[in-house]
Amino acid sequence: MEKKAKVLGVDKERIIVDQYKVKVIRLSDFLKQDPERKYDVLKIDVEGHELQCLQGLFEEEKRVLTIRFIQLESQNDDMYLSNNHHKKIALILKRNGFEKVAEIKHGFGDFAEIIFENRR
């Protein structure tokens, strides 16, 4: 949080200035609503919670997703407390038929976009 505040040029106490409620739905539940629909890309941008997101998405064993690519950020920045899940993330995706096909490093910060392709 401190690093993000420094980049934004504000005190860390002022990053969150307002709160409001929003309706949410789990990604796995959203995909179940129309199981025949095909998706080209699922972009997961959950600020360091990629592992938990994927665990929820693949909680059912041998779930076949109609998603061609999954793109997520690989964070190595000290802004995230739990950033050592890269191997677990890759294992979950591999077990579910996804293979890493690209890694695009960002020009700033210590992170990259990782793209996995569904091989099923």
- The helix-helix angle for 50-57 and 86-95 (nearest 10°) equals 20
**Contacts with 90 (C-beta within 8 Å, 6 or more apart), sequence order:** 100
Give the pLDDT of residue 100. 96
Give the pLDDT of residue 81. 52
- What pTM does this model have? 0.75
- CB-CB contact of 74 with 100 (8 Å): no
Where the chain has pLDDT below 70, the residues are 1, 61-63, 76-84, 109
Give the pLDDT of residue 76. 64
Give the pLDDT of residue 3. 73
What digits encode the pLDDT tens for the residues 69-104?
Answer: 999 987 765 555 555 688 899 999 999 999 999 999
Which run of H or of E encompasses 118?
Answer: strand 111-118
Give the pLDDT of residue 97. 92
